[in-house]
Amino acid sequence: MFVCTSTAHAAPYIEYKNKYDLRIQESKDNYVRIGYKAKKVYGEVGKDSAEVGYKFKAHKFTIKGKVESTNDFKKTGLETEIRYTF
């Protein structure tokens, strides 16, 4: 379920993404997705892929994460980053 909000930070967009494998020097995946970004969350959907993510900041911590599904939704991954800035 994807909820759209109407805030000053919300905006629709289109994105092209290319993943290139340096070991075999070949493009692995190419995606064109339409998306919507709100203040702390976003969602994207394309022909054979989708992604939903978030980003929160608290004091000196930044927490980011996403769930991405590719290759006709046969490959799904979860990525999380936690950053502390000195």
Structure token pair of residue 29 = 């995946």
Residue 60 confidence (pLDDT): 94
What's this model's pTM, rounded to 2 decimal places? 0.72
Q: What is the pLDDT of residue 2?
A: 47
> Which residues neighbour 67 within 8 Å (Cβ) at sequence distance 6 or greater?
51, 52, 53, 76, 77, 78
Supply the pLDDT for residue 9.
Answer: 65
Q: What is the mean pLDDT of each run of 10 residues along the chain (86 residues)?
A: 53 88 79 93 92 94 94 87 96
- pLDDT score at 64: 96
And the tokens for 65? 């994460």
Domain boundaries, the chain: 11-84
